[in-house]
């Protein structure tokens, strides 16, 4: 794994830490490649249930490495997008643990995650316009899907930041913590990892995809996805564990 990213795992959770604190964890090509590789591991390893993306040194990610940009380097992976993530999120749940700044490409990495836990002092924004650029890694397209359009427009056109309290109020983040965002994300991940892995992944898929389904086709499309879950070994195990008052032993099949 690249030195730009540190990866560890515990209790079924894969923790990916952008480790470029001297550059405020600005995203470069090596870091993007490492994130893409780590996400492949998350989805392919049956022992892993949830991923967490965070940053070292008190900052989540300050965006694209502009020094690398000036050298002609791109932190975009073909088919995967910025940071190896924004255009191809994992099938399994991914939580962003945000300390400090999630700006520009850093915010775009964050909104590509499924859930967000942030420290109360965190700051969020897409200030690309201040540099004559556009938040092209999903910011101007995806942010209006997650917060009111007029607020997304203000952030995109002004380049100004908002704090954690405002981000929570807008529904941009799930939880605000006074201590470690990573600890808060681990707590959230543990609750997800305790559930049936097939059901979790299909639930995520339906939440993500169903917004594009017409009213007429919603239940039919959902049935196609949940059918295999309801006849799985895990479904029987979940029912048996409930009846026997014990924790389920999930097999992911």
CATH architecture, domain 5-193: Alpha-Beta Complex (3.90)
Tens digits of residue pLDDT in 57-100: 999 999 999 787 788 788 999 999 999 999 999 999 999 999 99
CB atoms within 10 A of CB 80: 19
Instruction: Indicate whether 252 pLDDT > 90.
Output: no
Do β-strands 115-119 and 94-98 pair in parallel, antiparallel, or remain unpaired?
parallel
Instruction: Indicate whether 184 pLDDT > 70.
Output: yes
Residues 14, 87: Cα–Cα separation, whole Å? 20
In the chain, where are the structural domains located?
5-193, 197-243
Q: How confident is the model at residue 251 (pLDDT cuts 50, 70, 90)?
A: confident
Spot the catalytic one: 128, 169, 209, 220. 128
Query: Among residues of the chain, what percentage have pLDDT more than 70?
Result: 99
Spot the catalytic one: 4, 33, 99, 108. 108
Query: Among residues of the chain, what percentage have pLDDT more than 90?
Result: 90
For residue 104, the Cα-to-chain-centroid distance in whole angstroms is 15
128 is catalytic: yes
Instruction: Indicate whether 1 pLDDT > 60.
Output: no
Q: What is the DSSP string of 168-192?
A: HHTTS-SEEESS-HHHHHHHHHHHH
For position 119, what pLDDT does the model report?
A: 98
For residue 175, the Cα-to-chain-centroid distance in whole angstroms is 14
Instruction: Indicate whether 183 pLDDT > 60.
Output: yes
């Amino acid at each position: 794994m690249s030195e730009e990213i540190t990866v560890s795992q515990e209790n079924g959770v894969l923790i990916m830490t952008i480790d470029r604190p001297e550059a405020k964890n600005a995203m470069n090509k090596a870091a993007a490649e490492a994130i893409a590789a780590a996400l492949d591991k998350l989805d392919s390893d049956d022992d892993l249930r949830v991923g967490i993306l965070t940053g070292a040194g008190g900052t989540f990610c300050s965006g694209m490495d502009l020094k690398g940009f000036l050298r002609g380097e791109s932190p975009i992976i073909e088919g995967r997008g910025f940071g190896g993530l924004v255009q191809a999120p994992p099938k399994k749940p991914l939580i962003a643990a945000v300390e400090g700044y999630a700006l520009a490409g850093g915010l775009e990495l964050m909104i590509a995650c499924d859930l967000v836990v942030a420290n109360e002092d965190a700051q969020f924004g897409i200030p690309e316009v201040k540099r004559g650029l556009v938040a092209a890694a999903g910011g101007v397209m995806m942010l209006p899907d997650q917060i009111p359009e007029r607020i997304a427009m203000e952030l995109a056109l002004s380049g100004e930041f908002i704090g954690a309290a405002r981000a929570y109020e807008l529904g941009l983040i799930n939880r605000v913590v006074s201590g470690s965002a990573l600890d808060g994300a681990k707590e959230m991940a543990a609750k997800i990892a305790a559930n049936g892995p097939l059901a979790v992944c299909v639930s995520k898929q339906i939440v993500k995809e169903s917004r594009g389904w017409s009213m007429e086709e919603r239940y039919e499309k959902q049935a196609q996805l949940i059918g295999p879950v309801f006849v799985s070994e895990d479904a029987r195990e979940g029912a048996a564990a409930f009846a026997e008052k014990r924790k389920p032993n999930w097999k992911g099949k």
